[in-house]
Structure 1
Amino acid sequence: MLLIISSHRDDSVHAVLPKLQERGVPLLWWDEADYPGASTLTTSCLDGRWCQTLTYRGETHDLSKVRAVWDRRPDRPAATEVPEPSQRAFAEHTATVAIAGAYDLMVDARWMPALRQHAAAVDNKLLHLHRATELGLTVADTVVTNDPEVLVPAWNRAGGRMITKTLQFRPFARDGENGHLYTAMVPRRRLTGRHRLRHGPAMLQPNVPKAYELRVTVVGERVFAARIDSQASRTTTLDWRHYHDVTVGYAAYDLPGDISDRCVRLVAGLGLSFGALDFIVTPDGRYVFLELNVNGQWAFVELRTGMPISDAIADWLAAAAARPDLKDSADAR
């Protein structure tokens, strides 16, 4: 059986679901937001035997029968029926811990992109850059620091064309509105306020010249590269994720074999079955690796290029879910 863990509003799951059904994959789509209020999860050890069951929408599922898990983007556990805020927060925290423990015991399942705790452990830009250099990929000069005295030398090395990035996506509130820091230039005037860097580390890199950018989606050993003409619009020059600009073109891209192979090895070497990688292609034809998104979005690439990424995901999940019941096989021996 395949277990899909994601919000029921997830368009990516809706894109893959019909293809899984065409392949005859038995599956359960569950959102953690339905726990603990609308589902029950029971993990037990009785007489030395472990058992895990998930009861949802009137049906009870034996989680030992799950052979594949697609851990997409679930909503948080919600104890909405608990009225007192601190007690509700406690209940939701406990639910999160119970879920994590249940997942850790699902040792017979293959996960996309990886078991939750493992995916979180390797979701680090510095680790990705380090592994990329080990594989021979080109990366930009990079400094991550909270030392204000490092800022000016880094800015000078970049010839005054330095960008800053966050280490990980994290929304925050500013003037009462939700915000997020995208890639931004560091103008000379900001150097006078460099003491603020002490309060939080930043990633500093030179602004690498771009002919265009690539989003490379790896599914198992299959690679789908999309060219993004980010320099066609002023709004997407620094960070194409920041704007939805219809003037920016997307197209399937023939990635050189050695770069494609390194992408697969980077994803697999991190213990992942899926990854979305970002590259710059410079005017002189160099491929500069930027980052790897452990559970990055891909549906927009398929929509704009026609590449069959959803089929590749369905194929991987179907193959994983079709494996024989390992527990029954072990008992037969």
Structure 2
Amino acid sequence: MILCITHSRDFYNIDIFFEYLKSKNIPYFRLNSDNINNNQKISISENGFELTDESGNTVHSEEITAVWHRKSWRIDIPEELDESFRKIFLKEYSTLRYNVLTALENVPWINPFENENKIDGNKMLQLNIAQKHGLTVPKTIFSNDADKITAFFHKYCKGKMVAKLHGVISKSMGGEHLLSTNIIDEDSLENIADVEYCPMIFQPYIEKEYELRIVYLDEEFFTGKINNSENADWRIAQGNYFWSEYHLPENIKQNLTAMMKEMGLYLGAIDVIKGKDGQYYFLEVNPQGEWGMLQKDLNFPIAQRIADNLIKRMKTNE
């Protein structure tokens, strides 16, 4: 049985994945990460766990032979819960969820849980590993120090700098509730002192030809190009943007593969800019990044390939 960890509002990608498993007669269990709370019944012992979900479906850990960690969302807190108890509710259910997931560490995962957390939570580590494996990365500073950021601006940015959060408020590819990537120029630099309330990542603005969303899956690549050369982030810009299939140069594929292997990831959504200077600039990899638009618009069989990867590895693990 393949366990898919997702959230209660997930659809499309996950539906294709489940339909494909049905066609292969592979059993599966959907675990909504945001509902691992009082809506589910969970018991963990030294021999594993038993979980009954919000719909009354029950799974035992010994039945699970592979895991796709599709997405983890924040655990929902009941509205009726007293405000003074909310913090401990969230802490204890988060701990319970962590214990459930780590009880399965000996079966094949996409992606291994601890590897994914480490990489997703450290963009600077991502840049270091990417650079180590021959990828071009922008000059970067992650800081709350206005003086250091100002010095960085004048030394590297030629009058234009990108500021972005380490994380995002929403991972929606449609831009809903997404905090925009900000452009800093000489005029807005005077307000940079406010960064002490919210540390951000700063990089020189790259004049680009286009952006690439690359889905890496265990040495296989599915790459979409979007015709955005003017806006810092196409997800929140208004415009006539569309996806087209793109073939990466072999050396970029080799470098990305080496990077992903060192990170210990089977799957990741990678953002790359093709600069007007001809360089491919690695920006980041999101282990749980979105790719449904590539499956839908370009007919890439990504969900099916994820299933195939898990089926192959769980059979090898038997």
Normalising by the residue count of structure 2, what TM-score does the alignment of the two structures yield? 0.88
> Which residue does 1:288 correspond to in 2?
281
Instruction: Kindly indicate whether residue 161 of structure 2 is the aligned counterpart of residue 162 of structure 1.
Output: yes
Inter-CA distance 323–86: structure 2 relative to 1 (3 Å threshold): farther
Q: 1:63 aligns with which of 56, 61, 64?
A: 61
Change (3 A) 1:81 1:141: closer
Whole-Å separation in 1 of the counterparts to 2:160 and 2:78: 49
Does the CA contact (< 8 Å) of 2:8 and 2:34 recur in 1?
no
Aligned to 1:10: 10
Map of 1:310 onto structure 2: 303
Quote the Cα distance in structure 2 between the aligned partners of 1:305 and 1:257: 21
Residues 208, 276 of structure 2: 8 Å contact kept? yes
> How far is 1:206 from its partner?
1.2
**Deviation of the 1:195 alpha carbon:** 2.4
Superposed counterparts of 1:46-85, under 5 Å: 50-56=47-53, 57-78=55-76, 80=78, 83-85=81-83
Specify the alignment match of 1:121 in structure 2. Answer: 118
Shift of 1:307: 1.8
User: Following TM superposition, by how much is the alpha carbon of 1:199 offset from its aligned partner in structure 2, in angstroms?
Assistant: 3.1
Matched with 2:255 is 262
My pick for the range that moved more, 125-134 or 305-314, is: 305-314
Any conservation in 2 of the 1:71–1:112 contact (CA below 8 Å)?
A: yes
Structure 2 unaligned regions, length at least 5: 171-175
Q: Secondary structure of the residue that 1:139 maps to in structure 2?
A: coil
Q: Deviations over 1:56-102 (max 9, x none)?
A: 34453220231211122244444638643333553343122111012
Q: Determine if contact 1:148/1:195 at 8 Å carries over to the other structure.
A: yes
Q: Which amino acid aligns with 1:164?
A: A
Say which of 107, 110, 134 aligns to 1:109.
Answer: 107
Matched with 2:294 is: 301
Q: Contact 2:18–2:28 (CA<8 Å) still a contact in 1?
A: no
Counterpart AA for 1:160: G
Task: Give the aligned partner of residue 201 of structure 1.
Answer: 199
- Deviation, 1:193, is 2.3
With normalisation by structure 1, the TM-score equals 0.85
1:218 CA displacement: 0.6
Q: Which amino acid aligns with 1:243?
A: A
Counterpart in 1 of 2:39?
38
In 1, Cα distance between equivalents of 2:282 and 2:317: 39
- Distance (Å, rounded) in 2 between the aligned partners of 1:321 and 1:224: 23
Map of 2:236 onto structure 1 = 242
- Distance in 2, matches of 1:146 and 1:78, equals 31
Structure 2 residue corresponding to 1:210, chosen from 194, 200, 208: 208
Deviation of residue 152 (structure 1)? 2.8
CA contact (8 A) 1:67 1:108 kept: no
Map residues 121-200 of structure 1 onto 2, 5 A cutoff: 121-123=118-120, 124-157=122-155, 158-170=157-169, 180-200=178-198
Match of 2:173 in 1: none
Amino acid at match of 1:229: N
Q: 2: CA distance between counterparts of 1:307 and 1:59?
A: 32
**Offset, 1:205:** 1.3
Find the aligned partners of 1:130 and 1:80 in 2 and give their Cα distance. 41
1:228 to 223, 226, 229: 226
Does structure 2 retain, via aligned residues, the 8 Å contact 1:222–1:312?
Answer: no
Q: Does 1:19 align with 2:20?
A: yes
Unaligned ranges ≥5, structure 1? 172-177, 326-333
Out of 305-314 and 82-91, give the one that drifted further: 82-91
Q: Distance in 1 between matches of 2:86 and 2:143?
A: 37
Identity of aligned residues (%): 26
Counterpart of 1:277 in 2: which secondary structure?
A: strand
Secondary structure of the 2:208 match is coil
Query: 2 CA distance for matches of 1:84 and 1:78?
Result: 14
- Runs (4+) off by over 6 Å: none
Aligned partners of 1:243, 1:194: CA distance in 2, in Å?
A: 23
Counterpart Cα distance in 1 of 2:160 and 2:34:
44
* Secondary structure class of the residue paired with 1:97: helix
Instruction: State the Cα RMSD in Å.
Output: 2.3
**Mean Cα deviation higher: 93-102 or 75-84:** 75-84
Change over 3 Å in CA distance of 1:26–1:238 after alignment to 2: same
Q: 1:319 aligned to 298, 305, 312, which one?
A: 312
Query: Which is higher, the Rg of structure 1 or of structure 2?
Result: 1
1:199 and 1:91 map into 2 onto residues whose CA distance is 28
- Distance, in Å, in 2 between the alignment partners of 1:154 and 1:216 is 29
**Cα distance in 1 between the residues matched to 2:260 and 2:107:** 19
What's the offset of the Cα at 1:114?
Answer: 2.4
Counterpart CA distance in 1 for 2:99 and 2:307 is 27
